[in-house]
Chain A
Amino acid sequence: MSGFGEAHLEDADETVRVRFVVNDRKVACEVAPRETLVDCLRNELELTGTHAGCEMGACGACLVQIDGRAVHSCLMLAVQADGARINTIEGLTENGAIADLQAEFHRRNALQCGFCTPGMLINAHELLSQMAQPSREQIRDALSGNYCRCTGYEAIVDAIDTVAKARSAGGTT
């Protein structure tokens, strides 16, 4: 983008064109500058697996991966993500990256209402990509920004712990 022009001040109510790669597909859409990424994903791209919870970074339900790192999509404007690679829970499900985590969450009943689950899975995925064998304490610390209002944390920690051990042993769960 070039320098600033007075015309920039006139486009507050206009939409601007943004392009990203979402779940390995190139996408372009028109967004208002004030639109958050979570609203863009859900409303423009109909990727409703990303959940809008508190919309101020407290609950973790809206986590997506931006350029490989877990990020709150409610704390980012869609225009800020212009040019980024985004993976949502749909993409990580399709490409099988978290299949073992999903299976273990299912097996252990690590979800009740399921609202927090996409964020939990994305956070767990990032944790296990950075730390092969986290302790239960480290798992809890990593999940400290993800709320489960069904309070099902014990089973969630169990599931992540089990997958970490299975991955380290070179097997599948």
Chain B
Amino acid sequence: MVTNLASRLVSRWDLEETAVKAKAFSYFRAATIDQALDAHARAGDDARFIAGGQSLVPALSLRLQAPRLLIDITHIGELRGVGREGGYLRIGALTRHCEMLSEPLIAEFAPLLHAAAPFVAHPAIRNRGTFGGSVALADPASEFPAMTLALDAEIEIAGPSGCRRVKADDFFIDLFETALQPGELITAVYVPLFKADQRFAFDELARRRGDYALVGCGMLGTFTGEHIDDIRISFFSVGNTPTRVRGAERALIGARLDAERIAAAQGALEGDLAPPESDEVPPAMRLHLARVLLGRLLGRLGEGA
């Protein structure tokens, strides 16, 4: 993942100018959430939490980040585990990407995340990277942050002033900027349980499997027969943050899913998305790819995907 993150943030020229070894820092392995929060505060917030480290370690090596203290949270039991809680599936922040593939509760109650997981980086990255870490980093090209939007998930955050839950809709603010305040960490993500009258679809367009998507999309719809009662559609790799396409959603809600509605939703994308200028993928091309992908995924939803 970061691989690409690093190469996107650092031009080739800068890379040649930059050391590939991290600046010196201290390391502390926390056993509890309280210990981790306390350490962060006592380092004057010049600290970073490290979980899977698949984005943070290269950022340290490239000296894009140079904290005084690294706080290892991977041995905190409270951040582990996947289980049902009321109408939600609680996914502990330390759940690894590979567990998103292997954990039966996720396949059953959050199948959209299960479907997205194989697209996250490469197998060895998935063995270490964590779900909470991916959401906290909020890379706009990542699969999982965008899927929390489609799922109407809630993000549980612990910090110096206590614990709070933030809706995914309110979590992603700008490029790599979230509702997380300094010294706060994600403890879990709550996903509403998948229901019998719901359908989901996920796919992305990339040059090679494991690369960052040129455009990616996931959706969750609630149906009565072929009538769409509600639908949430989220794109990634389309701008500074993962993005819900509310115009396209409005074009579909309350209607029968047919070719005419799909075309209307595709037409609405132009108002929903404003892809950034890029030499590699010009805005018009990205918008075109988003329309193509939306059409494909709605088609699959119509087939009961």
Interface residues of A (CB under 8 A from B): 1-4, 6, 8-13, 16, 32-34, 36, 54-58, 60, 63, 66, 69-72, 74-77, 79-80, 82, 123, 126-127, 140-142, 144-146
Q: Name B93-121 residues within 8 Å CB distance of A.
A: 98, 121
Select which of B24, B27, B61 is within 8 A of A56 by beta carbon: B61
A79–B29 Cα distance when bound, in Å, is 9
Complex interface: stretch among B30-38, B146-154, B163-171 = B30-38
A126–B122 Cα distance when bound, in Å, is 13
A56–B43 Cα distance when bound, in Å, is 27
**Given known A-B contacts A70-B127, A126-B123, A145-B124, A10 and B26 have beta carbons under 8 A apart:** yes
B246 within 8 A of A: no
A126–B38 Cα distance when bound, in Å, is 39
A141–B98 Cα distance when bound, in Å, is 15
B62 within 8 A of A: yes
Select which of B23, B30, B31, B53 is within 8 A of A75 by beta carbon: B53
Complex interface: stretch among B69-77, B221-229, B233-241, B272-280 = B69-77
Residues of A near B20 (CB, < 8 A) are 55-56
Does B209 lie within 8 Å of A144, measured CB to CB?
yes
A58–B15 Cα distance when bound, in Å, is 15
A9–B44 Cα distance when bound, in Å, is 11
Does B25 lie within 8 Å of A76, measured CB to CB?
no
Per-position 1/0 for B196-215, Cβ under 8 A of A: 00000000000011100000
Does B24 lie within 8 Å of A34, measured CB to CB?
yes
**Given known A-B contacts A12-B25, A56-B6, A145 and B125 have beta carbons under 8 A apart:** yes
Residues of A near B53 (CB, < 8 A) are 75-77, 80
20 A-B contacts (beta carbon < 8 Å): A3-B35, A4-B42, A8-B39, A8-B69, A11-B27, A12-B68, A16-B27, A34-B21, A56-B3, A56-B6, A56-B20, A57-B2, A57-B125, A63-B124, A72-B124, A75-B58, A77-B70, A80-B72, A126-B123, A145-B123
Residues of B near A60 (CB, < 8 A) are 122, 124
Distance in Å: Cβ of A60 to nearest Cβ of chain B: 7
Inter-chain pairs besides A36-B57, A60-B124, A144-B209, 9 sampled, C-beta below 8 Å: A4-B39, A6-B42, A33-B24, A56-B6, A56-B58, A70-B124, A71-B124, A76-B128, A123-B124
**Given known A-B contacts A80-B53, A145-B123, A3 and B38 have beta carbons under 8 A apart:** yes
Distance in Å: Cβ of B127 to nearest Cβ of chain A: 4
A140–B21 Cα distance when bound, in Å, is 31
Does B28 lie within 8 Å of A144, measured CB to CB?
no
A69–B26 Cα distance when bound, in Å, is 27
A126–B127 Cα distance when bound, in Å, is 11
**Given known A-B contacts A1-B29, A54-B3, A75 and B123 have beta carbons under 8 A apart:** no
Nearest opposing residue in chain B for A10, CB measure: B26
B60 within 8 A of A: yes
B54 within 8 A of A: yes
A82–B70 Cα distance when bound, in Å, is 15
Distance in Å: Cβ of A160 to nearest Cβ of chain B: 13
A4–B68 Cα distance when bound, in Å, is 14
Residues of B near A57 (CB, < 8 A) are 1-3, 54, 57-58, 125
Select which of B26, B50, B58, B208 is within 8 A of A11 by beta carbon: B26
